Amino acid sequence: KEVWDSFIKEKPKILVCSGAKRAGKTFVLLLTFLAHVSKYQNMGLSFIIGGATQASIKRNVLNDLELILGKELRLDKSNAVEIFGNRVYCFDGTNADSWKKARGFTSAGAFLNEATALHDSFVKEVISRCSYKGAMVMMDTNPENPMHTVKTDYIDKDGQTLKSGRLNIRSFHFSLFDNNFLDPEYVESIVASTPSGMFTDRDIYGYWVAPEGVIYKDFNKDIHYISSEQLKEKQGRFTKYFAGVDWGYEHPGSIVVIGQDDQGCFYLL
């Protein structure tokens, strides 16, 4: 109800629901997304649904939309469906070059499912494509590492307003107990069978916590990131550079360059 009220009254440009699995995040955003599309009935505008893969879009988004609308949604050759006289394009967005799919689009709104599964550049491209007057972006996601850009760039900016006074970002947090449509026995069973620690924090309470045993658990972005200006001042004093290569055939490879300064400190460049 809080999400719906925010959609109706506050009309944020970006509406985020993050939290526990099965908490009802996708369901409520499908309702707000449909209500949003219906505002532009028969205008032939473009909307975007983003998800990890076409299969996950079908499973998580289109199936429930069909149930709500009571009609079959058929993808055409360009992976679009028609809803309320508008075209809704379905894009898979996990890869570094996925953003190119949304390039050149003018969209009146978007729904991004499982936002942390999408590539940051895709999320940002979709948001910048939503340039039609009154456009809105809705995002749902399970919690991940607290450093994830979905958290740092949107959730942590909850309440941000534009110069016009319009609310830019509204973010809602969900726990498993927020979904009162679930069978209490199911909830009890999930709670009892979820390991304590990170899994319970994320999957039951919906908190953005780092995994235990994380390699750099003391990492703090306020201390450990330095700006490129600060780095330029340092550059003269680097005494050594070396590179690490983790070759990947099936998974993406990774290359890092590290500098050591004359104080014996190391910098991941």
Q: What are the distances in angstroms from CA 227 to CA 52, 155, 221, 232?
A: 32, 23, 11, 9
**Residue 143 touches which of Mg ion, ligand ADP, none (Cβ within 5-8 Å per kind):** none
- Helix and strand tally (H, E) in the chain? 10, 10
The interface region with Mg ion, picked from 21-29, 41-49, 182-190, 220-228 by CB under 5 A, is 21-29
Residues counted in the chain? 269
Interface ranges with ligand ADP (CB under 6 A): 21-28, 140, 179, 181-182
Nearer to Mg ion, 26 or 98 (CB): 26
Q: What are the distances in angstroms from CA 156 to CA 26, 28, 165, 170?
A: 20, 21, 19, 10
3-state DSSP call for residue 146? coil
Nearer to Mg ion, 45 or 57 (CB): 57
What's the half-sphere exposure (Cβ side, CA atoms, 13 Å) at 110? 32
Tokens of 194: 């979820």
Nearer to Mg ion, 43 or 67 (CB): 67
> Using the rule CB under 5 A, is 98 a contact of Mg ion?
no
**Residue 258 touches which of Mg ion, ligand ADP, none (Cβ within 5-8 Å per kind):** none
Q: How far apart are CA 54 and CA 179, in angstroms?
A: 27
CB 25 to ligand ADP: min, Å: 3
DSSP letter, residue 253: -
Dmax of the chain from CA atoms? 68
Q: How many residues bind Mg ion (CB under 5 A)?
A: 1
Nearer to ligand ADP, 190 or 258 (CB): 190
Nearer to ligand ADP, 27 or 132 (CB): 27
CB 243 to ligand ADP: min, Å: 41
CB 172 to ligand ADP: min, Å: 11
CB 179 to ligand ADP: min, Å: 5
Nearer to ligand ADP, 184 or 213 (CB): 184
CB neighbourhood size of 36 (10 A): 24
> Using the rule CB under 5 A, is 26 a contact of Mg ion?
yes
**Residue 57 touches which of ligand ADP, Mg ion, none (Cβ within 5-8 Å per kind):** none
Contact by Cβ (8 Å): 112, 47: no
CB 168 to ligand ADP: min, Å: 23
Tell me which long-range contacts 58-61 makes (C-beta under 8 A, separation of at least 24): 60/26, 60/113, 60/114, 61/26, 61/30, 61/90, 61/111, 61/113
> Using the rule CB under 5 A, is 46 a contact of Mg ion?
no
List of residues contacting Mg ion (CB under 5 A): 26
